[in-house]
Structure 1
Amino acid sequence: MNRSGGGRIDAEPEARRPLDAIFAPRTVAVVGATEKAGSPGRAVLWNLISNPFGATIFPINPNRRNVLGIKAYKDVASVPDPVDLAIVATPAATVPGLISECVDAGVKGAVVISAGFREVGPDGLRLEHEVLERARRGRMRIIGPNCLGVMRPHSGMNASFAPRSPRAGSVGYISQSGALDMAVLDWSRKENVGFSAFVSVGSMLDVGWGDLIDYLGDDPHTKSIVLYMESIGDARAFLSASREVALTKPIIVLKAGRTDAAARVAATHTGALVGSDEVLEAAFRRVGVLRVDSIADVFDMADVLSKQPRPRGPRLAIVTNAGGPGVLATDALVEHGGALAEPSPDAIRALDLFLPEGWSRENPVDVLSDADAERFGKAVEVLAGDDAVDGLLTILTPQAVTDPTAVAGRLRKHAKVFGKPVLACWMGGESIEPGTALLNEAGVPTYPHPDAAARVFALMWRSSYNLQGLYETPTRPADDAAADSPRERAEAILAAVRAEGRTILTEAESKRILTLYDVATVPTTVVQTADEAATAAEGFGWPVAVKLNSTTITHKSDVGGVRLNLYDADAVRGAFRAVERSVEAHAGPGHFQGVGVQPMVQPEGGVEVLLGSSLDPEFGPVLLFGAGGRHVEVLGDRALGLPPLNTTLARRMMEQTRIFAALKGVRGQTSVDMAALERLLVRFSDLVVEQPWIKEIDVNPLFASPDRLIVLDARIIVHGPVIHAQDLPRTAIRPYPSQYTFPWTSKKGEALTIRPIRPEDEPLLVDFHATLSERSVSFRYFHAMKYSTRVAHERLTRICFIDYDREMALVADRKDPETGERKVLGVGRLSKIRGTDEAEFALLVSDQFQGRGLGSELLRRVLQVGRDEHVGRVRGDVLPENVEMLRVCEKIGFRLARDIDDGVVRAEMEL
């Protein structure tokens, strides 16, 4: 029996999406339309009627029979046609009631221009809550309040009070600052920058970054997305949408407020080090968003990333007819994170054949001042074909024998030939303008200064590097199906601490939790007397360390609570008494609860690193990795990341630090076991995700050497009694949904595990597709598809690297009892349809495992996921000849209907 098919998830989205009411309305009501000069209500109405875009416009004004010559209506309910979009430009106090009227009239979208909401204080915030509550009653979507409005230049719609409309182009622009928007509009017209959408979001009461990124991600006119951001809003929605869209359309952010003026009080080193802007940088890296520092950078990057391919690496080759500009470009390149390419010997030999004898024989490649168009072109052609080069920059300065226009014409054919970005710096005045025009027409971005061009390439590489990390297949855990989860045992330790009214775990308790998550810790024995300390020390062997054991003091060294390198029993007894006296003197007797005795770990041949976790008010738990030891704050060498991690993300996080070079080994030293360190970070990430009662963790130092990774000191802080379970912060990126993991036994008695897919499953899916017949493939995808196409990395990454908030894929995983080899035998997928409570399903089972009940079980599990994820209706398309799949759908309870136009059977079920 064939269990393939049951859903065409790659089909086109529905013609009308919820935000179409705002971006492509057929009818628009202007609430607050007036003829009063200088008012937003007049400006919005004038812009709508003076820029026809196919919609019918209805002014709403209870005191006038017409506005600007157009018949007016007293309220939205009086409008004779159904209204898609209401633009509200009335005093803030009137807006909640007007939104209620719009909901009652069936309006699906609103843009609230009005100011006087949260920006004015608590009363304004209360008004916002009223507006949102009333809008949700009718599932109305709102942009604003306190915004400039919305413009769609390609259609001509200008639903804003901006005095001029922007040019049509390919940049989707979203901003939180109306004042900046006006400046950007003026600047864009001078610079000839065009927009596919221009959206002022104001305070983002309802429609947020995630909604708009999703919408523009599907918009055919949008090639890149630009954000001016002041606050993040719904962090999970932003990250989820960005991660999906950034791979196909660049997302460039200009974020205000790089400095964190408000110092945060924290109990651990980690808490003190985590800053909100650093967290934002980490979040952007995690989802492939590029952050820049200026408006010019924003549009430079939007332009170049929409015209040129992203570089595969940081290595730039520079071809110039003047040495000085090449040096300037090199400095800027290296300073901003790029690298100077080292041309291969074959490339050098090829250049030798036509370059003058005095050429530089290195990069930058100086073709000399007498270079003509042919010499320039050949040099670029050689370097573009060199595997040691990831991108090219051509620099031309006007010379007596150089024709800038001819050189530009010669370079045009290399604009998009080699899959590598090509940039140009044409320096000069009027003489170079025809050449720059030719290059720009060909899609080669031009820059007036070499350092600016090199910096753009470095930013391109940063964008590319971030995206590569998203879809680089991580290594598989040793045994990802281990039944012995530490979650409950760790929860019990934390619950006992909280039951005592404590928020600080002792060092021993902290280490016990880390050990449960496979993070090795130095053995520690807690004792209450000096003689017990001496006995424990003798059991470990010499030297040992004695450290304060306290449920109230976080930093032991601050109260003299640490004694190191103790070589005999008398020294241990003396250290015990010295710690006790020091703690009592600094904090009082109630803060001393004995000491912990542990063997010393000598630092020779290893590196001390810091590992930690703290909370960010917008992104929830944040991970920290960096140089450890006593001078953590002084060194300031750290990188932040968002959990959950896999091995690829763990390595990328470490690569952000300077200590990473020492871990790999310097001056002949052996490298730390980097694969083991990656796995340790992944397990630490699992701890942070699975134990939400933990507020902060400080592991300092973690001793890393070629033969071991071991924690010497650790501290865990939990939330206090004022925090309830429903108030615990959640991760900004949804973690692996292990609750959807189930054991299952086939009709023939084979034991399988049905579980959500992981990025690490890509190799298993390659093998899985090798087991599929042409019939199964055609039934699933509705057409033939070659094996090589099905298993291409670029395709499988989109299948394995999913956002569990947006879709869920369940795989049937079987471990061979003899070889231990794992195989995927079936895949069921549920993909939510954005902006609705509906989802599509699809199913595919290996030919060798069909007829054993797996297809039916996968479909039942997929439907249960839909119920748990609050999906209202599930649907899928099945080919009529796929009778086995139709039988399964009918048995499970789907309603089947033949679609004559598409030639498929529609299967639908209400959940």
Structure 2
Amino acid sequence: MSRQRHPLDPLFMPRSIAVIGASRHPGKIGYTIVRNLLESGYKGRVYPVNPSAKEILGLKAYPSVLDIPDEVDMAVIAVPVGLVNRVAREAGEKGVKVLVVITAGFSEVGNKEAEEELVRIARQYGMRVLGPNIFGIAYTPIGMNATFGPSRIREGNIAFITQSGALGIALMGWTAMNELGMSAVVSVGNMADIDVVELSEWLADDPHTRVIAIYLEGLKPGTGKRFMERMREVTRKKPVIVIKAGRTRRGAAAVASHTGSLAGADTLYSAAFKQSGILRANTVEEMFDWARAFATQPLPRGRNTVIITNGGGVGVLATDAAETHGVPLLQPDEDLVARFRRVMPWFGSPKNPVDLSGQAGVDNYVGALRVAYESDKVDNIIVLYCQTAVLDPIDLAKAITDVAEEYRDKQKPLLVAMVGGIETFEAMKILNRKNIPAYPSPERAVSSLAAMLRYTWYREKTTRGTRTD
């Protein structure tokens, strides 16, 4: 690859990893990191470092990183805080390129001197530092899971950067359960050196990443202008979605005690995000809803949207959501009305929403989808389904995936919402596994398309050199 000279390549694509503080005991962080590296399919070399062990999980253990006979790109440090800087210096002497410092007990608890010393040591030896106070990093294209989170990460196109360790670990499991595919999961903690900006810049050029999602608690003082200028360049390449914690006075105080970051005035963050082209989500659910759409669907070429449904109620809810979020619904002309009418029961409605009625079968949905795909007037498609006795949701999901594949070259975003019982949940899993974003409510599907439209509008404006604020 032409990216080998990038300073963060050893972080995302290390050829070898030393785990300093590796443990023989299940349940220990140093044990879990080694196990995850082995179970995730990482093809590079793994070197456990523990002066009291000869072997860990079948791998030869070394007393010190200096005793490892080969080159080491990355050192994951999971030792008590009082030992971190000593082993960091040894890593520097070894020629390690990047430190992933798991250990807590630095600036987040007022121990700024130790954190500053860690950075000084790293700079002395030309190393970079991720952390401290983190759970690690995973990059699925090379099968690297250097975290103490869940071992299973579904491979995909979403990169997730998180300033919260516990939340990040929880969301690793949550994303796998919800069929969300990840390209990277990066815990940043105190951001003593490497921050969300540098990580985003690397991911913006990563061919395996289509969207960057960030849980952010705050920035370091004096970094706001740099954040805006450089993130503006990132969003010209890839969509960035941020959920910003610490919106309230008490929330901001909690942030300060958590990572030592400056939460700041929430209105300033909102303005910075808007000017940088960053999409601000209000909830974790919303952030990943939007990310799912960006990761799997082409960007909209236009704004005209058609809703296809078998239930009037969900159609109305989707219509309300479309108006709330600024998603334009196409007013079909006579020709398009006639085409929709031919594929539905006589008592259905060919207007928009296109209501196929509760008696709709798979053929009706397939016919309406084909009309929407083939019409040059339709840019975006939202399919809604309410569970009925006459139409099995799993049969519908399979049919939708077939039609979407048939019309892939049309490059039209397709989003689905299904409302019902356990069968609809299974149907949504089928769709999501086939990279068709499926949601349990119409509002979430509409909100996700709205985010795609806002980002497309922003990128078009900036490409033309037009101000967007």
Answer yes or no: same fold by TM over 0.5: yes
Shift of 1:115: 1.0
Shift of 1:111: 0.7
Shift of 1:212: 1.3
The letter for the 2-side match of 1:101 is E
The letter for the 1-side match of 2:456 is S
- Counterpart contact for 1:332–1:454, Cα < 8 Å: yes
Write the distance in 2 (CA, Å) between the matches of 1:352 and 1:291: 39
Aligned pairs for 1:25-174 within 5 A: 25-35=14-24, 38-49=27-38, 51=40, 53-64=42-53, 70-121=59-110, 124-162=111-149, 164-174=151-161
The letter for the 2-side match of 1:151 is A
Aligned to 2:459: 467
**5+ residue gaps in structure 2?**
253-263
Aligned to 1:455: 447
Aligned to 2:258: none
Write the distance in 1 (CA, Å) between the matches of 2:139 and 2:190: 20
- Counterpart contact for 1:440–1:446, Cα < 8 Å: yes
Write the distance in 2 (CA, Å) between the matches of 1:166 and 1:399: 34
Distance 1:339 1:60, change over 3 A: same
Aligned pairs for 1:818-837 within 5 A: none
Is residue 358 of structure 2 the alignment partner of residue 369 of structure 1? Answer: yes
Write the distance in 2 (CA, Å) between the matches of 1:135 and 1:211: 17
Shift of 1:16: 4.9
Distance 1:359 1:69, change over 3 A: closer
Write the distance in 1 (CA, Å) between the matches of 2:392 and 2:233: 45
| Higher percent of residues as helix | 2
Q: Whose Rg is larger? A: 1
The letter for the 2-side match of 1:462 is R
Aligned pairs for 1:464-543 within 5 A: 464-471=456-463, 473-474=464-465
Aligned to 1:204: 191
The letter for the 1-side match of 2:380 is G
Give the alignment partner of residue 379 of structure 1, picking from 363, 368, 380. 368
Shift of 1:430: 5.3
Give the alignment partner of residue 413 of structure 1, picking from 403, 412, 419. 403
Distance 1:169 1:341, change over 3 A: same
SS in 2 for 1:340: coil
Shift of 1:118: 0.4
The letter for the 1-side match of 2:123 is R
Aligned pairs for 1:326-365 within 5 A: 326-352=315-341, 358-360=347-349, 362-365=351-354
The one-character-per-residue Cα deviations of 1:10-45 (angstroms, maximum 9, x if unpaired) are xx6243533232222223222233445644333333
The one-character-per-residue Cα deviations of 1:534-558 (angstroms, maximum 9, x if unpaired) are xxxxxxxxxxxxxxxxxxxxxxxxx
Shift of 1:317: 1.8
Write the distance in 2 (CA, Å) between the matches of 1:400 and 1:179: 42
Write the distance in 2 (CA, Å) between the matches of 1:34 and 1:430: 42
Distance 1:436 1:110, change over 3 A: closer
Is residue 293 of structure 2 the alignment partner of residue 304 of structure 1? Answer: yes
- Counterpart contact for 2:341–2:349, Cα < 8 Å: no
The one-character-per-residue Cα deviations of 1:425-482 (angstroms, maximum 9, x if unpaired) are 23333555676566445533222322222222222222223323321x24xxxxxxxx
Distance 1:162 1:325, change over 3 A: closer
Aligned pairs for 1:719-730 within 5 A: none
Farther off after superposition, 109-118 or 32-41: 32-41
SS in 1 for 2:290: helix
Shift of 1:145: 0.4
Write the distance in 1 (CA, Å) between the matches of 2:389 and 2:177: 32
The letter for the 1-side match of 2:101 is V
The letter for the 2-side match of 1:92 is V
Aligned to 1:230: 217
The letter for the 2-side match of 1:45 is V
- Counterpart contact for 1:342–1:388, Cα < 8 Å: no
Write the distance in 2 (CA, Å) between the matches of 1:379 and 1:208: 47
Write the distance in 2 (CA, Å) between the matches of 1:461 and 1:262: 31
Shift of 1:374: 3.9
Aligned pairs for 1:183-198 within 5 A: 183-198=170-185
Shift of 1:135: 0.9
Shift of 1:203: 0.7
Shift of 1:180: 0.4
Aligned pairs for 1:721-740 within 5 A: none
Aligned pairs for 1:816-895 within 5 A: none
Distance 1:316 1:276, change over 3 A: farther
Give the alignment partner of residue 177 of structure 1, picking from 156, 164, 188. 164
- Counterpart contact for 2:245–2:251, Cα < 8 Å: no
Aligned pairs for 1:384-399 within 5 A: 384-386=373-375, 389-399=378-388
Write the distance in 2 (CA, Å) between the matches of 1:399 and 1:74: 64
Moved over 6 A (4+): none
- Counterpart contact for 2:290–2:447, Cα < 8 Å: no
The letter for the 1-side match of 2:99 is A
Distance 1:67 1:413, change over 3 A: closer
Give the alignment partner of residue 238 of structure 2, picking from 229, 237, 249. 249
The letter for the 1-side match of 2:197 is G
Write the distance in 2 (CA, Å) between the matches of 1:392 and 1:34: 52
Write the distance in 2 (CA, Å) between the matches of 1:281 and 1:450: 26
Number of residue equivalences: 453
Write the distance in 2 (CA, Å) between the matches of 1:87 and 1:370: 58
The letter for the 2-side match of 1:470 is T
| TM-score normalised according to structure 1 size | 0.46
Distance 1:349 1:194, change over 3 A: closer
**5+ residue gaps in structure 1?**
1-11, 264-274, 475-647, 654-911
The one-character-per-residue Cα deviations of 1:330-373 (angstroms, maximum 9, x if unpaired) are 11222233233322344234445555665445322223333344
Aligned to 2:261: none
Write the distance in 2 (CA, Å) between the matches of 1:67 and 1:363: 62
- Counterpart contact for 2:158–2:184, Cα < 8 Å: yes
The letter for the 2-side match of 1:56 is R
Aligned to 1:422: 414
- Counterpart contact for 2:294–2:452, Cα < 8 Å: yes
- Counterpart contact for 2:338–2:350, Cα < 8 Å: no
- Counterpart contact for 2:345–2:360, Cα < 8 Å: no
| Higher percent of residues as strand | 1
The one-character-per-residue Cα deviations of 1:695-729 (angstroms, maximum 9, x if unpaired) are xxxxxxxxxxxxxxxxxxxxxxxxxxxxxxxxxxx
- Counterpart contact for 2:317–2:442, Cα < 8 Å: yes
The one-character-per-residue Cα deviations of 1:842-882 (angstroms, maximum 9, x if unpaired) are xxxxxxxxxxxxxxxxxxxxxxxxxxxxxxxxxxxxxxxxx
